Amino acid sequence: MTPAPPDTSIPTLGPCLFPSPLHRIGGVDAPFKTDAADRILYHSHLLEDGRDASTPSYEEAGARERIYFDPARTTAGIVTCGGLCPGLNDIIRGLVNQCNQQYGISRVYGFRYGYEGLVQRYGHTPLMLKPSSVEQAHHFGGTLLGSSRGQQDIGEMVDTLEDMKVDILFVIGGDGTLRGAAEIVKEIERRGLKKAVVGIPKTIDNDIRYLDKSFGFETAFAAAVQAVKCAYVEATGTVNGVGLVKLMGRDSGFIACYAALAGSNVDFVLIPEVAFELEGDGGLLESLRYRLNKRGSAVVVVAEGAGQHLMQTNSATDASGNQRYGDIGLFLKDRINTFFKERRTEVNLKYIDPSYIVRSVPANAADNVYCSRLAQSAVHAAMAGKTGMLVGRWHGSFVHLPLELVIHGRRKVDATQELWRSVLECTGQPALMR
């Protein structure tokens, strides 16, 4: 007999008669909730509340009773690509330990310097990874395998996998890396090979779609908070002090939002998802002048991809094929100083760019646990013969997601939803600066 679901009703003291003062947050309507319509499902699994298998769903991650690969004859490979991120060494350590200690796989290769390590003409000799060689890896930032950006020849990479008799390839990287993994899968299928490719999504910007969060994100914004606190100290210690902090976030402003909420003493948050202008009565510069007149200091947090329309940029791309963005931090620094100088108003601006510090620190305890569980889930999936997929967490459960589902588009801050509204409430900034 199926037990009845728990009673989730919430008592109230009586009718609500007064209009909320939050009807306007930053100049726009607040996203008010209704008790009857805005509810979160109790169950996260199919068939628990009468839903059938036709409901869209993901495979749940975890060990399978029967596996595809014979562990004694299996060879695995690990590659880390793209920019650094807290937790990379934790993932590597988790994969090696799970392969060796739980499944008995004795041959685990670490390909050095990203996808370059899978192209033999570069001469990057793979490392043979054992539990003893990674036992202290999680105490250090970066990746013990090294990393690189840029596209490589898919055929040459699959040639290397064949030559080294690699059965399973674990690919740790972000959007561009996962697109590369999808192409590797297609080439493997074209050749009729039986090799598993499993991705573990890595992006400090937290912009992989259909995931609760990416590994390393908690560590990254915690490190960013320290920079925000320093900016506040600098700003409040001088006349008309302005602390300007540029944080990572090319297309998604999650780090900027979370750092501002955790740091509390932030007056303006600028992210790629919300356009702003500099000039005019409602622009950033006049809003900043008003804030200085009122409080005597201000802290501005800007994501690296914000305000690109304000600068003269070209169509050049980096090694990963991403458009090269202008430096919004230095741009704002110059424009703010010029604005106040033209008005003969003293301003003391301190500019902080902690990007390399944020991405290079070791993972914190929460990310240690998250990385370990991601690694375990990835090995379980690969040994069961799963391929063309990545592991991640969705609604609190670890799941399998098809690569093709997540590589088309990025996760972004929704300016109509609670996270951005929380930022507006915390900072008091106008919702629209135009």
What was the pLDDT predicted at 43?
60
pLDDT at 317: 67
The whole-number pLDDT of residue 53 equals 55
Catalytic position from the list 90, 167, 205, 267: 205
Query: What are the residue ranges in the chain where pLDDT is below 70?
Result: 1-6, 8-13, 16, 18, 20-28, 30-31, 33, 35-36, 38, 40-55, 313-322
Could you tell me the CA-to-CA distances from 122 to 25, 78, 221, 239, 320 in Å, in that order? 55, 17, 35, 55, 18
Q: What is the pLDDT of residue 410?
A: 86
pLDDT of residue 397: 86
The whole-number pLDDT of residue 315 equals: 67
The 8 Å CB, 24+ separation contacts for 67-73 are: 67/383, 67/384, 67/385, 68/196, 68/383, 68/384, 68/385, 69/167, 69/168, 69/196, 69/382, 69/383, 69/385, 71/103, 71/104, 71/105, 71/383, 72/104
Topology agreement, domain 59-214+363-406 and domain 220-359: yes
Give the residue extent of every domain in the chain: 59-214+363-406, 220-359
Q: What pLDDT, in 10s, does the model give residues 211-225?
A: 888 999 999 999 999
Q: Where are the alpha helices (DSSP H) in 149-204?
A: 154-163, 175-190
Task: Tell me which DSSP letter residue 23 carries.
Answer: G
Active-site residue 90, yes or no?
no
Please give the helix or strand (H or E) that residue 45 lies within, else none.
none
Eight-class DSSP state of 147: -
Q: For domain 220-359, is the CATH number 3.40.50.460?
A: yes
∠201-207-211 over CA atoms, to 5°? 60
Q: 59-214+363-406, what's its fold?
A: Rossmann fold (3.40.50)
pLDDT at position 40 is 60
Prediction pTM value: 0.89
